[in-house]
Amino acid sequence: MPKNKRTKKFATMKRMISANDPRIKPKDRLSKPKEKKIDPYELNVHQVTQASSALFFQYNTQLGPPYHILMDTNFINFSVKNKMDIVQSLMDCLYAKCIPYITDCVMAELEKLGPKYRIALKIIKDPRFERLSCSHKGTYADDCIVQRVTQHKCYIVGTCDRDLKRRIRKIPGVPLMFLSQHRYTVERMPDAYGAPK
């Protein structure tokens, strides 16, 4: 059977809901405030974060022996998997006394990982490891480490996490330490022996 040919209706509009319709909620009825016109003669004020007094351009003057290494969860786990003595390996890398630091968040993350990581927990509870208390909510260590490093530029961050490395590279004057070829390597620290060329 042939189809009936229908002509298109021209100049038809979609049906609009009136402003008084009961389906519209009161908050949606309010008209949006008009945007302020930009005055070309007004001064533009930019807020710039104050540069740390520890930095001389990109060079961090607060870094020096004894080095303070702030460690991440996976840095400790990889060290245990590679059967490395953390404190001794840190000293072999930097040729100086090193003080490893652990935040409460890192400790909580290791406790959450369960019995598989009990060796790492045992290593961390060594008296040579310094504990740093956290004042924020939650146990997400990456945010905690980034916040602590931006406030105090005296730390070298030990991590094997790509995302955390990317975040810390944006902060000037903070060196990174990570594992490569069964030893520790330092990045962005020119006077360190283990630094890649």
pLDDT in tens, 10-43: 666 677 777 778 888 777 776 666 777 888 888 8
How far is residue 95's CA from residue 63's CA, in Å, rounded to a whole number? 14
Which amino acid is it at 20?
N
pLDDT of 135: 86
Using the predicted structure, report yes or no on whether residue 98 has a pLDDT greater than 90: yes
pLDDT of 195: 57
Give ∠ CA 75-76-77 in degrees, rounded to 5: 90
How far is residue 69's CA from residue 58's CA, in Å, rounded to a whole number? 19
Which residues fall within 8 angstroms of residue 158, CB to CB, at 6 or more apart?
69, 70, 71, 72, 75, 100, 176, 177, 178, 184
Using the predicted structure, report yes or no on whether residue 72 has a pLDDT greater than 80: yes
The third-level CATH classification (topology) of the domain covering 55-187 is Rossmann fold (3.40.50)
The DSSP string of 163-182 is HHHHHHHTSTT--EEEEETT
Higher pLDDT among residues 32 and 157, named by residue:
157
Assigned token pair, 81: 């998997």
How far is residue 185's CA from residue 165's CA, in Å, rounded to a whole number? 13
